[in-house]
Amino acid sequence: MSFLRGGAAPQGGVNMEKIEMAITELDTVTDFFNRMVQSCHNKCISTRYADADLNKGESVCIDRCVSKFNEVQKKVGEKLQSRGAANAGPSTGGFL
Amino acid sequence: MSSSQMPGNPSFEAPKKVSGFRTVLKYTGIPPSWLDKRPKLPSRNWLIFWSLTGSVVGYYVYDRRQCKQIKQHYIDKVKHLSEASVDPFDTPRRVTVYGAKWPGDEDYDQSLRYFRKYVKPILVAAAIDYELVAGKRHGDIAKHVAEDVRKRRRLSEGLDQDSDVTKALPTYKPPAERRKQELAGGIVIVGRPTFKEFMSGLAKGWTQGLEKVDEDERLAHILEDDGKFDEPEEELPIGVYEDGTLKESATPSPKASPVFSPLQLHQKPPLSSPSSNMSLSTPTTPPTFIPELPPLLLVPFTNYIGIKQIPLMIWGFFNQRQKVQSGAEAGYRLVMHSTRPFDVPRHVSDSIGDDGSHSVQGGDLDFNKEAEGYYKKSLDDLEEDIDISRKKYYEKLPEKLATARALSRGTREPTKEEYENPPPTEVELRAERLKKERRWRDDVAGWNIIKAGSPVVWDSRFQDALKVFSEPPKHDEEQRS
């Protein structure tokens, strides 16, 4: 957080819009991550918790799940962006 | 029953002789009509209805239960593999699955669907990762495989290096290690068309030159002086006309296309075309020895399409257990990783180039051959159909071209209609033509690979390189269980 102090003091007016944007972006990323963890956990890991470590089946499943999640996220993002660009009016704020 | 209906005394006396449970239950309040109820068969029509419905539903339920049992049986057999714990940075065994388009089917991913439904559960249970490669058009798998082989050869020849970015990744592995991993994996081939395309691509990849070939550019080069876009005014308007409309529209131009014309394609398998571009540039000759390739898993698959095959579809619907069985067995073979050499009869020589009698090749080359009988007959005319559409297109082309040129040079004013939706410019026409030619040629080449008459491409260098997954020995299995 040192860059905030360094940047804020000399200029005085911090660009609030940018910070706003950064916060929204962080929110989306966190939200995306949490959702991914939750759904992949539900899908791949049994609730018996027999072992402390992941076993082979679970790790393969998680690999696939995460990559699929990312893929879909990317596709949806692209779609939304292109739609947003087409509509031009309502901006699709908050998406990567 | 009938006696109680009779008028007079008998009916009066009959109810007196009540006995058994009727006497006991008489005063319990249960309606007496219930006690007198006697079971009887429903009418004939109801019998027919119920027996038909019952047997159909029963057969369906039985089949699906069997499916589940078979699947579960195989899953239990391989489950121990997925329960071992691993280091998080270990990469699991990974197989590549190829599924080509089934000829005549609009859905290109039928073979992959088959894989997902019947083979995948076993792989998932055994913690084997898989990568799906779908062929959207005929020949796509062949191209993909050839391209992969080419990349790999370039890498091993030292022509290409892994980029620095890839090397910096924590999961980076040097090529040698990747090769080892690949060998531990395998290749899944679903159905006969995929098999043919795969073998053809493999042979192409190991025979062809190593430099990058831009197909579009090559085609553009071939097409550039075939006279289709020539100006009709100055030079031989008759010639172009003849060329466009009269007899010889199968070959785009008589003079300029000895390199790659559909007519030639017709005569020999498309594999021989690489030889022409190999001479152009390659510094490396095709290797005389092919290093070991990952073992193949041949999954039999037949896709029924068309009205005539509807009975077979219905039969298949009620006998899914057979597909489950065959798919699960295939998956189990892959998981157990016991291989045997590719079985090829001695007399099969390199089948690149010759197209003599190839009805039966024998050995593994005849894998799933009976499926070819189910191809649609109408597909035999595929090449003619393409020729017809090509002819039609070229007949219309001069007219469009004239409009485009007239408008661009300003020799005439565009009409009102043309203002609203402007006709394609010459550049657009050229691009469109290139795209169309590309598609036609690719389709014909792809179809020539997989059609029923053409043999599976075999190269004697494959003999030592290829392996097939085979049935695991029985005692092995018992030990585990």
* DSSP assignment of B298-318: EE------SGGGHHHHHHHHH
Reply yes or no on whether the pLDDT at B345 is more than 70: yes
Compare CB distances from B82 to A51, A55, A64 and report the shortest one's residue. A55
B322 has a chain A CB within 8 A of its CB: no
Q: Which domain holds residue A48?
A: 16-84
Measured between beta carbons, which residues in chain A are less than 8 angstroms from residue B89?
A: none
d(CA B3, CA A9) in angstroms, rounded, equals 112
**Chain B nearest-CA residue for A56:** B82
ipTM exceeding the 0.95 mark? no
Query: Are residues B364 and B466 in contact, defined by beta-carbon separation less than 8 angstroms?
Result: no
pLDDT at B236: 41
Name the residue among B258, B363, B259, B299 with its Cα closest to residue B116: B299
Cα(first)–Cα(last) distance of chain B, in Å?
63
Contacts of A57 in chain B (CB under 8 A): 82-83, 124-127
Strand order in the sheet with B94-99: B129-134, B94-99, B186-190, B296-299, B467-469, B339-341
B348: Cβ contacts below 8 Å, ≥ 6 apart: B361, B362, B363, B365, B458
- Quick one: pLDDT at residue B238? 41
User: Is A60 close to B125, i.e. CB distance below 8 A?
Assistant: no
- A contacts of B129 (beta carbons < 8 Å): 60, 63-64
Render pLDDT for A11-58 as a digit per residue (tens, 0 to 9): 557 788 999 999 999 999 999 999 999 999 999 888 888 778 888 888
- Of A3-7, B299-303, B376-380, the poorest mean pLDDT is in A3-7
Q: Please report the pLDDT score of residue B331 as a whole number.
A: 93
- Assigned domain for A95 exists: no
pLDDT at residue B273, as a whole number: 42
- Is residue A70 in a domain? yes
Contact between A56 and B92 using a beta-carbon 8 Å cutoff: yes
pLDDT (0 to 100) of residue B12: 52
Q: Who has greater pLDDT, B471 or B247? A: B471
Judged by a CB distance cut-off of 8 A, whether residue B87 touches chain A is no
Question: Which amino acid type is present at position B441?
Answer: R
Q: Give the separation between CA B322 and CA B63, rounded to whole angstroms.
A: 9
Provide the CA B234 distance to its chain's centre, in angstroms. Answer: 50
The mean of the pLDDT values for chain B is 80
User: What's residue B114's pLDDT?
Assistant: 95
Interface of A with B (CB under 8 A): 51, 53-61, 63-64
**Is A76 part of any domain?**
yes
| DSSP string over B206-241 | HHS-SS---HHHHHHHHHTTSSTTS-TTTS-HHHHH
CA triple B351-B352-B356, angle to 5 deg: 55
Q: Environment class of residue B393 by beta-carbon count within 10 Å: exposed (0-12), middle (13-18) or buried (19+)? A: middle
Sketch the domain layout of chain B as residue ranges. Answer: 51-84+91-225+288-374+461-479, 383-441
Q: In this predicted structure, what is the pLDDT of residue A5?
A: 52
The per-residue pLDDT for B9 is: 52
The Cα B201–Cα B143 span in angstroms is 6
pLDDT tens figures, B350-363:
544 444 444 567 77
DSSP state, residue B188: E
- Report how far residue B368's alpha carbon sits from residue B399's, in angstroms, rounded to the nearest whole number: 49
Contact at CB, B86 and A63, closer than 8 angstroms: no
> Reduced to 3 states, what is the DSSP secondary structure of residue B339?
strand
B140 vs B27: which has the higher pLDDT: B140
- pLDDT at residue B280 tops 70: no
For B186, list phi and psi in degrees, rounded to 5: 160, 175
Amino acid at B268: K
**B191 in Cβ contact with B97 (< 8 Å):** no
Q: Dihedral (C-alpha) B1, B7, B9, B11: value to the nearest 10 degrees?
A: 20
**Which pLDDT score, from 0 to 100, does residue B388 have?**
93
Using the predicted structure, report yes or no on whether residue A79 has a pLDDT greater than 90. yes
Q: Tell me, yes or no, if B129 comes closer than 8 A to chain A by beta carbon.
A: yes
**Per-residue pLDDT at B104 exceeds 70:** yes
Residues of chain A contacting residue B82, judged by C-beta atoms under 8 Å apart: 55-58, 60
Collect all residues of chain A within an 8 Å Cβ-Cβ radius of residue B75.
none
CB-defined contacts A:B, below 8 A: 41
Report pLDDT for B233.
Answer: 53
**Residues contacting B215, CB < 8 A, separation 6+:** B438
Cα nearest neighbour of A55 on chain B = B85
CB–CB of A55 and B85 under 8 A?
yes
For strand B296-299 and strand B339-341, is the pairing parallel, antiparallel, or unpaired? Answer: unpaired
Q: How far B144 CA sits from the closest chain A CA (Å)?
A: 22
Over the stretch B54-78, which tens digit does the pLDDT of each residue have?
A: 999 999 999 999 999 999 999 999 9
What band does B297 get if pLDDT is binned at 50, 70 and 90? very high
Q: List all residues of chain B from 88 to 127 with a beta carbon under 8 Å from chain A.
A: 88, 92, 124-127
Q: Using CB atoms, pick whichever of A51, A57, A63 lies closest to residue B82.
A: A57
Determine the distance in angstroms separating the CA of A21 from the nearest CA of chain B, rounded to an integer: 29
Residue range B108-129, pLDDT digits in tens:
989 999 999 999 999 999 999 9
Q: Where are the beta strands (DSSP E) in A12-79?
A: none
For residue B211, the model assigns a pLDDT of 79
The answer to whether residue A20 sits within a structural domain is yes
Radius of gyration in angstroms for the set of CA atoms belonging to chain A, rounded to a whole number? 19
**CATH number for position A20:** 1.10.287.810
Which of A53, A56, A64 faces B82 most closely, judged by CB atoms? A56
Exposure of B167 in the CB half-sphere (CA atoms within 13 A) = 6
What gap in Å lies between CA B459 and CA B322, rounded to an integer? 34
CA atoms of B66 and B478, how far apart (whole Å): 22
Q: Taking a C-beta distance cutoff of 8 angstroms, is the pair B340, B467 a contact?
A: yes
Q: Residue A94 domain-assigned? A: no
pLDDT at B333: 92
Asked if pLDDT for residue B296 goes beyond 80, the answer is yes
Q: Which of B129, B131, B171 to mutate to test the interface with A (most CBs of A within 10 A)?
A: B129
At residue B381, the pLDDT reads: 86
B189 membership: H or E segment, kind and range: strand B186-190
Which regions of B270-366 does DSSP assign to beta strands (E)?
A: 296-299, 339-341
* Average of per-residue pLDDT across B383-391: 91
Do the chains contact at B84 and A55, CB–CB below 8 Å? yes
For chain A, what is the domain count?
A: 1
C-beta atoms of B128 and A60 within 8 A: yes
